[in-house]
Structure 1
Amino acid sequence: MLDKPDVPRTGFFALPDHGVITLEGRDALAFAQAQCMSDVAALADHGWQWSGWLTPKGRVIALFAVLRLGAESAWLLVPDGDTESLAARLRGLVFRSKVKVEARPDLFVAGAFAAPAAARDATLSGDANGGVELDLGDGTLPRCLRVSNVAVEPDPAAQARWHAFDLAHGWLRLPPSQTEQWTPQQLSLDRLKAYSVKKGCYPGQEIVARTHFLGKAKRGLVLFGAPLAPAAGSEVLADGKALGTVACSGDAAGTGLPAAALALAVLPLERDDSATLEADGQSLAVLPLHDGLSR
């Protein structure tokens, strides 16, 4: 369970590492369904889900949440990455579809360690005109994310706590060096229901489905505590021998976990847990991944 007293409960703070891409038009939802790894067609109006975009080889280009604002409107809430570049790549796939893909620097993302006024679980509140709110709590600690045209002040300490909460729950915050490196299974994104193996075609779908149905997933996500955050891309060593790779890391502030820093690494599912582990010169201690962010 995450530590409560050390986390501010009221007041929004800026999440400048988050951005929004909007898909608008008659074919907006069909376009999202064809490109995203989650089942966008299953969303009702004002529903949202974790998702991502893959290469044809099934590697994660970007992770995001898909928000359905209406029959002709979907938003991609991107926690990391260059939304302008991502939107440009998506526009290259529009062809004759009736959809407008835009990065929206005029929409600001803010967070608060407080319960949303109306949003609950996978149902958002608000609309495209007045702004929307999402429930990003885990059932124990409340979190509210807001997207609107109103900018708020930054709070680096609160932003670091937000980042740490994501890592502790297995929602990866991939830096550029780790994009197009991992399959959804290797990142254990089934925990968050972030991809589908049953819906129709999307980039990388064949690889994802084959891995799932043939039981070929050999690696998965592990949460570690460390004295200092090891760099993304660092090798995880077990008794001095290469075992896996750090996908992302950050401060553990406000989590109540017995570590100063956190790291999410991709390791073999079958391994010797008695080995001494380290990465980037830091000793690693395995920690349990928290549940509660699945939507």
Structure 2
Amino acid sequence: MFALPDHHVVTLRGRDALAFAQAQFMSDVAALADGHWQWSGWLTSKGRVIALFALLKADGETLRLVLQDVDPEAFAAQLQRFVFRSKLVIEPGGDLRVGGTFEAHSSAAGPRAAIDHEGFALDFGGDGGVRTLHAGAGLAAPADADALARWAAFDLAHGLPRLPASQAEQWTPQQLSLERLRAYSVKKGCYPGQEIVARTHFLGQAKRGLALFECDAPLEAGQQVTEQDRTFGTIVATVETRGQSLALAVLPLEPAASAPLAQGHPLRPASLRGGLAR
């Protein structure tokens, strides 16, 4: 096992935790069975993604969010502003630490989690292989930069954007192709940004989505993708592994007329893998 220092757990606990999450997050939390998890996220009122996370329903009054690349204290403080009279507490961090393995778990499979008194495990595998996310009280796992880069590359290869702060609140779920992960609902009812998400879905107005690229040069989120001297899209997530860059970019759905570039460097299209949806 190796440490995932860019992953953090936030807990929602209390009588109204489920109803609160259903009203705030973009997935259908009410449809989750105890001990199961799904991809989800929190949107601005304009339908832009603030954060993506794995959402585990531990029981009828306890939800665990596994945030990626988001400060848990800041996230919890921002979410707390909408609690009002709801009966729940939002607990950022705590003693739960997160680690990963590129191995299957004996109990966690697909959307079914493995939960015990010390923490939980989630099946984070997909078509590219097996892996398990572990969260536990005081979990001690060594740092491993190569394994961490491999983990992030697995995310990107399966269409899970690892959004840095510069890309938060910039993109709608459709622009990030989050339907591939079944991370949002257009039928469950109101939540922040729901009107924009539903309108885009039902009117067929989604004009951009995710594309995966490889490049021999270093890339950064926020760089423009160009073709034939025009801006064609934007890189939203990158990772360097095995001497090359892997990048997710938001592009128009119609194919480019010529080979795309980033900072003058050729981008090689790659196929997104499946199997990470829950």
Tell me the distance in 2 between the aligned counterparts of 1:265 and 1:166.
Answer: 14
Tell me the distance in 2 between the aligned counterparts of 1:31 and 1:201.
Answer: 12
CA deviation map 1:67-124 (0-9, x unaligned): 0000100011001111100000001100000010110141100000000121000000
Tell me the distance in 2 between the aligned counterparts of 1:31 and 1:151.
Answer: 32
Which residue of 1 is the match for residue 134 of structure 2?
Answer: 146
Tell me the distance in 1 between the aligned counterparts of 2:51 and 2:259.
Answer: 32
- Structure-1-length-normalised TM-score: 0.92
CA deviation map 1:113-172 (0-9, x unaligned): 000121000000113x22100111115511011000112111111111000000000101
Superposition RMSD on alpha carbons, in Å?
1.1
1:131 paired to 2:119? yes
1:210 paired to 2:199? yes
* Aligned length, in residue pairs: 277
Which residue of 1 is the match for residue 268 of structure 2?
Answer: 285
Displacement of 1:252 after TM fit?
Answer: 3.7
Tell me the distance in 1 between the aligned counterparts of 2:241 and 2:20.
Answer: 37
1:175 paired to 2:164? yes
1:61 paired to 2:50? yes
Tell me the distance in 2 between the aligned counterparts of 1:77 and 1:227.
Answer: 32
Tell me the distance in 2 between the aligned counterparts of 1:234 and 1:139.
Answer: 29
- Is the 2:128–2:273 Cα contact (8 Å) retained in structure 1? no
Runs of 4+ aligned residues of structure 1 deviating over 2 Å after TM superposition are none
The match for 1:38 among 27, 49, 60 is: 27
Tell me the distance in 1 between the aligned counterparts of 2:128 and 2:249.
Answer: 25
Which residue of 2 is the match for residue 117 of structure 1?
Answer: 106
Unpaired stretches in structure 2, ≥5 consecutive residues: none
1:196 paired to 2:180? no
Which residue of 2 is the match for residue 164 of structure 1?
Answer: 153
Which residue of 2 is the match for residue 263 of structure 1?
Answer: 247
Displacement of 1:222 after TM fit?
Answer: 0.3
Displacement of 1:271 after TM fit?
Answer: 3.1
- Structure-2-length-normalised TM-score: 0.97
Tell me the distance in 2 between the aligned counterparts of 1:154 and 1:28.
Answer: 33
Tell me the distance in 1 between the aligned counterparts of 2:71 and 2:127.
Answer: 31
The match for 1:106 among 95, 112, 132 is: 95
Which residue of 2 is the match for residue 3 of structure 1?
Answer: none
Displacement of 1:200 after TM fit?
Answer: 1.2
- Is the 2:219–2:238 Cα contact (8 Å) retained in structure 1? yes
Query: Percent identity among equivalent residues?
Result: 56
Q: Secondary structure at the match of 1:231?
A: coil
Q: Secondary structure at the match of 2:63?
A: strand
Which residue of 2 is the match for residue 88 of structure 1?
Answer: 77
Which residue of 1 is the match for residue 218 of structure 2?
Answer: 229
Q: Which amino acid aligns with 1:147?
A: A
Q: Secondary structure at the match of 1:202?
A: coil
User: Which structure has more strand as a fraction of its residues?
Assistant: 2
Q: Which amino acid aligns with 2:88?
A: V
